[in-house]
Amino acid sequence: MAARAVPNPADPDLPHSAWAMQLGQGWKVRPFVKPRAGETLTLMDKEGPGIIQHVFMVTSTDWKGNGRACILRFFWDEEETPSVEVPLTDFFAVGHEIYAPVNSLAVVVNPTSALSAYWPMPFRRHARVTFTNESDQDLELLAYQITYAECEVPEAAGYFHAQWRRALTDPEWPEYVIVDGIKGQGHYVGTFLAWTQLSTGWFGEGEVKFYLDGDTDFPTIAGTGMEDYFLGSYGFPQVYSTLYGGCSLRHIEGNGPPKWSMYRWHILDPICFQRDLRVTVQALGWRPGPRYKGLDDDVASVAYWYQTEPHVAFPALPSLEERRPR
């Protein structure tokens, strides 16, 4: 029962319908919406059970000023707090509001600004997806499609979660927390980092660590270096995008500090936890000697995982000014 809108140029919710006046209902009357400044749109509000299979979105050809101003939120089974709360572009592994192609199994970013996510997202009773434009400018266009199957959900299936964070690392204790406070049973499936270098030289010497099920001082899993975690080696001499890992953006020329976008999907190697989970990465470079140097870099991240509900409410999302790229 799609494509039922009737052309009406006077309706502000049908900003493109004038193009279809001659042909009428059924002829691309409402292919896009135009989220106004400060407006929240409900993109999906559906009774379950079912599984979201694909999320597709396109906004403007240039995300500058709106990529992190627009927030996606997913709510499962009438929950009060979202299980997904992430700026639009970062959810799709685009950092710094700068386009970079991603050709992975779970996320695809194609020219010019086409965003796709293929994370399966089961819901048992209800699914609600919202899009909020927190900027002071109307968006000229939002095209979207959420494809889902009406089907039974396996009893053991967890609910999809994604959380965005950002912080300046402290060179005296240069640990960046990707996610913390996860309580319940589940498995961690992905990391996206948007790294802005405020220090000179190499920045990726630190280890990614997973603290599972009561770990305190020492993690269950520690990596061998940040570029290794993202399935590269000996730095990031060039961009690459693969099924499970990539360094999709290497923005080291032009105005502003160097910027990097990196993703790692734990699809065939999920990090399973029974009670709790904390994930960190160290911000380490080199100093003469040689020895490690703690860095004061600007790091933003998205953590992706599945877990049983209820989940612990996320920390308050930083304000728009605190989210804007440098």
pLDDT for residue 244? 98
* Chain segment 65-92, per-residue pLDDT in tens: 999 999 999 999 999 999 999 999 999 9
Q: Specify the amino acid at residue 193.
A: L
Say yes or no to pLDDT of 254 above 80. no
CA distances from 282 to 45, 54, 173, 265 (A): 40, 33, 9, 19
Both tokens of 40, joined, read 């929240």
Which of 194, 206, 199 has the alpha carbon at shortest distance from 95? Answer: 194
pLDDT mean across residues, the chain: 96
Q: What is the pTM of this model?
A: 0.96
Count of positions (residues) in the chain = 326
SS3 19: helix
Give 304's strand partners. 162, 190
Say yes or no to pLDDT of 230 above 90. yes
Distance CA 247, CA 264 (A): 9
For residue 197, give every residue at least 6 positions away whose Cβ sits within 8 Å of its Cβ, in sequence order, or none: 203, 257, 258, 259, 260, 295, 297
Say yes or no to pLDDT of 1 above 80. no
Distance CA 241, CA 39 (A): 34
Q: Are 146 and 52 in contact (CB under 8 A)?
A: yes
Q: What integer is the mean pLDDT of 220-247?
A: 97
* Chain segment 168-187, per-residue pLDDT in tens: 999 999 999 999 999 999 99
* Chain segment 127-181, per-residue pLDDT in tens: 999 999 999 999 999 999 999 999 999 999 999 999 999 999 999 999 999 999 9
Q: Specify the amino acid at residue 290.
A: P
pLDDT for residue 253? 81
Cα dihedral sign, 234-236-240-246:
positive
Q: What integer is the mean pLDDT of 30-59?
A: 96
Q: Specify the amino acid at residue 126.
A: H
Strand 114-117 to 50-58 pairing: antiparallel
pLDDT for residue 289? 85
- 16 band by pLDDT with thresholds 50, 70 and 90: confident
Q: How is the chain split among helix, strand and coil, in percent rounded to 5?
A: 5, 45, 50
Both tokens of 37, joined, read 């400044």
pLDDT for residue 284? 97
- 2 band by pLDDT with thresholds 50, 70 and 90: confident
pLDDT for residue 3? 87
Least confident of 33-42, 232-241, 286-295: 286-295
- 256 band by pLDDT with thresholds 50, 70 and 90: confident
Q: To the nearest whole percent, how much of the chain has pLDDT over 70?
A: 100
Q: Specify the amino acid at residue 325.
A: P
pLDDT for residue 311? 95
Cα dihedral sign, 230-75-306-299:
positive
Domains and CATH numbers, the chain: 32-153 (2.60.120.1390), 160-313 (2.60.120.1390)
